[in-house]
């Protein structure tokens, strides 16, 4: 039996903490021991605050995963994130990712403190980002985020590697932080914003194909291969402060890294030279990394 980690499939979470870190030299055995404790830590917090619906996911980069997997077929698609679009998408790859999500930011914080305590100085935190849901699931841009996310049984199909694969229960994870230029965005009228996104702003309707710009966001990420959509599971949330930087913490899980990568190649002009209009009108990518998120059973039993 293989069980996906608890951040992959849930829908409607309203708060998250994303931590990326590097493993200190010669401390891999300590990382393994910490991972063995995580299920108990999570259960303790879930018991104390069941209404929060806490989830915890831990993923490993290509720099680390080959030393932890049991079989070379586990996470075989994993690779380091590379810069795209002549630097439009920078690579900021780290060794390990910790994703916490729930309906309660305070519960996230308490869980994060205990998770980091378990790892101790075996890891060195490089970035910590707190995300939160805004009204009607809209981002700072005013548009509903994640409308095309798979729902119901399709989430398992697209988000989790199926048996009998050696890495069944696992997922690939993309973490990418986008900083928003909201003054520039707010200077555009709703019609222009809708054209850039490819959806109507007020009622969240997809623009007809004959009206949709090929370099709109929807035009760049609504991809198909052999008649099948290249779907991903998004757990993204806005981040930021009232007085400072604001943007989107983009979090995507998928059973195939291929689906994630094809969307990025299209967005950042690697396929045909056209880049996503969001990149020139509101969003600047400031980080990028790939991780493999093994099943709960494998996380507790690393090589």
User: Model's pTM, two decimal places?
Assistant: 0.97
> Contacts by 108-112 with C-beta closer than 8 Å and gap 24+?
108/15, 108/16, 108/17, 108/52, 108/54, 109/17, 110/45, 111/41, 111/42, 111/45, 111/54, 111/56, 112/17, 112/19
Residues 205, 226 contacting (CB under 8 angstroms): no
Q: Rounded distance, CA 99 to CA 46, Å?
A: 15
Residue 90 DSSP class? -
Q: Rounded distance, CA 56 to CA 67, Å?
A: 22
Q: Which residues pair with 240 in a beta bridge?
A: 246
Q: Rounded distance, CA 140 to CA 145, Å?
A: 10
Residue of 145, 167, 215, 222 marked catalytic: 145
> Maximum CA pair distance of the chain?
57
Q: Which two tokens stand for residue 264?
A: 């990025």
- 145 belongs to the catalytic site: yes
The pLDDT score that the predictor gives to residue 1 is: 66
Q: Rounded distance, CA 150 to CA 116, Å?
A: 32
Closest residue by Cα to residue 192 from 138, 141, 126: 141
The pLDDT score that the predictor gives to residue 211 is: 86
Residues 35, 303 contacting (CB under 8 angstroms): no
Please list the pLDDT of the chain residue by residue as tens digits (303 residues).
699 999 999 999 999 999 999 999 899 999 999 999 999 999 999 999 999 999 999 999 999 999 999 999 999 999 999 999 999 999 999 999 999 999 999 999 999 999 999 999 999 999 999 999 999 999 999 999 988 899 999 999 999 999 999 999 999 999 999 999 999 999 999 999 999 999 999 999 999 988 899 999 999 999 999 989 999 999 999 999 999 999 999 999 999 999 999 999 999 999 999 999 999 999 999 999 999 999 999 999 998
Domain residue extents for the chain:
15-299
């Amino acid at each position: 039996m293989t069980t996906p980690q608890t951040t992959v499939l849930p829908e409607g979470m309203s708060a998250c903490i994303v931590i990326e870190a590097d493993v200190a030299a010669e401390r891999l055995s300590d990382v393994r021991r910490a991972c063995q404790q995580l299920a108990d830590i999570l259960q303790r917090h879930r018991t104390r605050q069941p209404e929060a619906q806490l989830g915890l996911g831990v993923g490993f980069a290509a720099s680390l995963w080959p030393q932890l997997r049991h079989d070379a077929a586990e996470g075989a698609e994993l690779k380091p994130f590379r810069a795209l679009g002549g630097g439009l998408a920078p690579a900021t790859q780290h060794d390990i990712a910790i994703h916490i999500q729930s309906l309660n930011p305070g519960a996230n914080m308490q869980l994060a403190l205990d998770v980091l305590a378990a790892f101790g100085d075996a890891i060195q935190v490089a970035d910590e980002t707190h995300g939160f849901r805004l009204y009607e699931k809209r981002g700072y841009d005013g548009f509903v985020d994640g409308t095309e996310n798979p729902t119901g049984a399709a989430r398992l199909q697209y988000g989790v590697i199926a048996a009998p694969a050696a890495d069944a229960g696992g997922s690939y994870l993309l973490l990418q932080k986008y900083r928003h230029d909201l003054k520039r965005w707010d200077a555009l009228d709703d019609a222009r914003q809708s054209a850039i996104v490819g959806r109507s702003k007020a009622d969240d309707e997809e623009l007809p194909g004959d009206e949709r710009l090929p370099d709109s966001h929807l035009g760049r990420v609504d991809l198909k291969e052999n008649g099948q959509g290249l779907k991903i599971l998004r757990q993204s949330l806005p981040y930021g402060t009232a007085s400072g930087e604001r943007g989107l913490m983009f979090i995507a899980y998928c059973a195939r890294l291929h689906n994630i990568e094809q969307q990025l190649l299209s967005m950042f002009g690697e396929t045909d030279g056209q880049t996503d209009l969001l990149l020139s009108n509101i969003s600047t990518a400031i980080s990028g990394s790939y991780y493999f998120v093994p099943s709960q059973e494998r996380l507790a039993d690393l090589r």
